[in-house]
Amino acid sequence: MIIAVSGTPGVGKTTVAKLLAEKLGYKYVDLKKFAIEHGVGEVKGDELEIEIDELAYFVEKEFKGKDVILDGHLSHLMPADQVIILRLHPKVIGERLKERGYSREKISENVEAELVDVCLVEAIDEHENVIEVDTTGKTPDQVVEEILGLLNKGIKKRVG
Ligand code: DAT
């Protein structure tokens, strides 16, 4: 199945998605890289503007029925069977993005997005299978264990 790992930049998507892919034996996909490789998206200044529908088309075409983990802050808008939204205290997001060298404007934009649950709201709007995991104060290993536990429960629930 296609599992999307999404959340505000800096939340820990790449770290968790790679670890999760390793544990599940799924293929790890960097969605931004995938978009560039398929010619979806236009570079505007220092931003990459992505055409969501076009990207969703390529994701479906390439990965439907396969076991993949999609890593990216737009992955919750893709045709996924399961969406995982990572959360983190906005203050920590701000600190991580500062370390990454983001501009003040970009940092406050993303801190605000985390504060008002942008990714979660969009994900719930699009999908039924959405899991929200708070990563605050947890190691990547702890986060992945929590996700695996929740995925198992979901699978059992559907079967039973
Ligand atoms: P994203 O892909 O959401 O932008 P990332 O995986 O690149 O985030 O992580 C951002 C930074 O935070 C990176 O330096 C690794 C670190 N990090 C990720 N998950 C963490 C965790 N659970 N605990 C501590 N640091 C973490």
Is residue 15 a known part of a binding site? yes
> Domain 2-151 is classified in which CATH homologous superfamily?
P-loop containing nucleotide triphosphate hydrolases (3.40.50.300)
CA distances from 143 to 58, 105, 113, 134, 149 (A): 29, 29, 21, 8, 10
In this prediction, residue 160 carries a pLDDT of: 47
Using alpha carbons, select from 114, 106, 99 the residue that is nearest to residue 8: 114
For ligand 1, atom 4, the nearest C-alpha belongs to 10
Instruction: Say how many Å lie between the CA of residue 101 and the centre of ligand 1.
Output: 14
- Residue 32's Cβ-count burial label (10 Å; 0-12, 13-18, 19+) is middle
pTM greater than 0.90 (yes/no)? yes
Is residue 65 a known part of a binding site? no
Asked whether the ipTM of the predicted complex exceeds the cut of 0.95, the reply is yes
Looking at the chain, the number of H-run helices and the number of E-run strands are 7, 7
Q: Which residues pair with 27 in a beta bridge?
A: 68
Q: Please report, for the chain, the start and end positions of each structural domain, with discontinuous segments joined by +.
A: 2-151
Q: What is the pLDDT of residues 36-64, one digit of tens each?
A: 999 998 878 777 889 999 999 999 999 99
